[in-house]
């Protein structure tokens, strides 16, 4: 339960930061938790109150955080190869993140937007993966050196 709450909080914090930055850059001084130009955002702003739209955004951000934290547990599998863990993690994150990002109003439901999402997702995923792999390889090397001493 603690890990789910932590994931939800991380998701909300990151979601709020991203929405503030997007609103600051693109919304001319108006705060939008979801882009009003996205499919979901346009629908929610037209049919729901701003408060309800914000609550939906909070729920989506929470779910993104929860999925991310729980999917991180895949890397705890000691009997799996790094390739199997990475492929499983990538697939899990992608399967949940794509619909949540559309529902959260980050992307419109258009083929071009989905293709750009896929490209951006792959780039960001593997940059983060490479950084974390490098950090962990350094930690393993340091531990091995300490064990040799």
DSSP secondary structure string for all residues of 33-70: SS-TTSHHHHHHHHHS-HHHHHHHHHHHHHHHHHHHHH
Burial environment of residue 134 by CB neighbours within 10 A (0 to 12, 13 to 18, 19 or more): exposed
Mean pLDDT of the chain, nearest integer? 92
Q: Percentage of residues in the chain with pLDDT exceeding 70?
A: 100
Instruction: Give the total number of structural domains in the chain.
Output: 1
Does residue 117 lie within any of the structural domains? no
Residue 38 lies in a domain: yes
Is residue 149 included in any domain, yes or no? no
Query: What would the pLDDT profile of 24-35 be if each residue is shown by its tens digit?
Result: 888 788 899 998
Q: Is residue 73 part of a domain?
A: yes
DSSP state of 45: H
C-alpha distances (whole Å) from 92 to each of 61, 64, 77, 110, 149 are 16, 12, 15, 22, 40
**CA separation for the pair 48, 14 (Å, rounded):** 24
pLDDT digits (tens, 9 = 90+) for 71-130: 999 989 989 998 999 999 999 999 999 999 999 888 888 999 999 999 999 999 999 999
pLDDT attached to residue 51: 93
Within-domain flag for 130? no
H-type alpha helices, the chain:
2-26, 39-47, 50-71, 82-103, 111-148
Residue-number span of the structural domain to which 97 is assigned: 2-108
User: Exposed, middle or buried by CB within 10 Å (0-12, 13-18, 19+), for 81?
Assistant: exposed
Measure the CA–CA gap between 65 and 63, rounded to whole angstroms: 5
Residue 25 is predicted with a pLDDT of: 86
So what's the pLDDT on residue 88? Answer: 96
Is residue 115 one of the residues assigned to a domain?
no
Question: What secondary structure letter does DSSP report for 34?
Answer: S
pLDDT band at 149 (very low <50, low <70, confident <90, very high): confident
pLDDT tens-digit map of 30-70 = 899 998 888 998 999 999 999 999 999 999 999 999 999 99
């Amino acid at each position: 339960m603690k890990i789910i709450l932590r994931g939800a909080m991380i998701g909300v914090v990151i979601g709020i930061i991203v929405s503030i930055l997007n609103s600051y850059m693109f919304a001319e001084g108006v705060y939008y938790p979801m882009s009003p130009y996205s499919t979901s955002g346009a629908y929610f702003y037209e049919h729901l109150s701003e408060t309800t739209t914000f609550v939906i955004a909070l729920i989506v951000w929470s779910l993104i955080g929860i999925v991310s934290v729980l999917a991180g547990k895949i890397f705890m599998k000691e009997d799996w190869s790094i390739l199997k863990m990475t492929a499983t993690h990538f697939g899990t994150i992608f399967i949940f993140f794509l619909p949540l990002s559309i529902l959260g109003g980050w992307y419109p439901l258009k083929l071009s937007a989905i293709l750009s999402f896929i490209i951006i997702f792959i780039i960001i995923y593997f940059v983060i993966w490479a950084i974390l792999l490098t950090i962990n390889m350094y930690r393993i090397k340091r531990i091995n050196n300490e064990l040799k001493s």
